[in-house]
């Protein structure tokens, strides 16, 4: 399989994993800080377990190999998660969704400045269409928001764009230890506000499943797929999590989305699929 196709599949799978957040939060009845703490702990343990299994005796060497960029990836990814949560609290969900959809554009600019990677026009047009689709989804809910929340949302988008570019720049380095570390850093940041011993054994089981399958798998697949495609295309594929998240809640809980949500979701899906198809045709021998 061509590396670009493998990267596309891995990133699409990452978006699917991330998109299950709304599904899990319907089942887990703890406060947001406690949810974030255990999600980070279980995700970090899961990914470090994968690294230990793959590297075996070379585990320590693999951790050291991430270097300064790996530490930056860990810090930026953790801070992006915290900014995202607080952005949602201080602004409207709709505002943060639209800002989140801007990540491919921000990634394109940072990738050009940092690693000299220029994106083709087709992907930039697809990104614009995806942003428009998210705008249609969020449009009915946008009521102005609040400046502080929108600033945090923008900080989240910039931090995640930087993470994608750094992973792409170090595509010869195994950055799984970096994303595992980011999960632990996130847990450490929210610990002062969390209540780790709250909940029953059943709740801890759900928290473990959430941390491994949503955050852990999302980070794992993101770290594996990002080096194989351009940073901007990787970010564009990641936008899929927005309409997919709505779909899972609709199917599982019969929460029928608004017409605008369905139309916007269809636009996002179409933009990503068309970009993948055009890129595949362009790379055919």
- Nearest Cα neighbor of 30 from 253, 191, 197, 249 is 197
* pLDDT at residue number 212: 95
Query: Are 101 and 136 within 8 A, CB to CB?
Result: no
Which residues, in sequence order, are CB contacts of 31 under 8 Å at separation 6+?
A: 194, 195, 198
Per the prediction, the chain carries an average pLDDT of 86
Which structural domain, as residue segments, surrounds residue 209? 3-282
Q: Is the pLDDT of residue 178 over 90?
A: yes
Task: Count how many domains the chain has.
Answer: 1
pLDDT digits 0-9 by tens, 198-212: 777 888 999 999 999
Please state the pTM of the whole predicted model. 0.87
pLDDT digits 0-9 by tens, 265-276: 888 889 888 888
Neighbours of 148 (CB within 10 A): 13
pLDDT digits 0-9 by tens, 98-127: 777 888 888 888 998 888 888 888 888 888
Residue carrying structure tokens 């050009």: 112
């Amino acid at each position: 399989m061509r590396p670009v196709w493998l990267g596309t599949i891995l990133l699409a799978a990452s978006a699917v994993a991330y998109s299950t957040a709304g599904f899990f939060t319907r089942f887990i009845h703890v406060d947001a800080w406690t949810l974030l703490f255990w999600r980070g702990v279980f995700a970090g343990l899961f990914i470090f377990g994968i690294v230990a299994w793959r590297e075996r005796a070379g585990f320590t060497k693999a951790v050291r190999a991430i270097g300064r960029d790996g530490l930056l990836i860990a810090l930026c990814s953790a801070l992006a998660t915290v900014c995202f949560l607080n952005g949602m609290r201080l602004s409207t969900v709709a505002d943060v969704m639209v800002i989140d959809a801007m990540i491919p554009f921000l990634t394109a600019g940072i990738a050009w400045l940092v690693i000299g990677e220029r994106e083709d026009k087709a992907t930039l047009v697809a990104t614009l269409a995806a942003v428009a689709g998210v705008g249609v989804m969020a449009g009915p809910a946008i009521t102005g928001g609040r400046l502080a929340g929108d600033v945090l949302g923008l900080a989240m988008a910039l931090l995640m764009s930087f993470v994608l570019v750094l992973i792409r720049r170090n595509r010869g380095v195994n950055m799984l230890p970096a994303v595992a570390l980011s999960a632990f850093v996130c847990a450490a940041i929210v610990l002062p506000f969390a209540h780790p011993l709250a909940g029953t054994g059943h709740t801890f089981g759900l928290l473990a499943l959430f941390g491994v399958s949503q955050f852990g798998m999302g980070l794992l697949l993101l770290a594996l797929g990002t080096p194989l495609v351009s940073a901007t295309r990787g970010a564009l594929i990641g936008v899929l999590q927005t309409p997919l998240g709505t779909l899972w809640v609709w199917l599982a809980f019969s929460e029928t989305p608004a017409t605008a949500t369905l139309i916007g979701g269809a636009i996002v899906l179409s933009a990503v699929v068309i970009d993948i198809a055009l890129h595949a045709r362009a790379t055919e021998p």
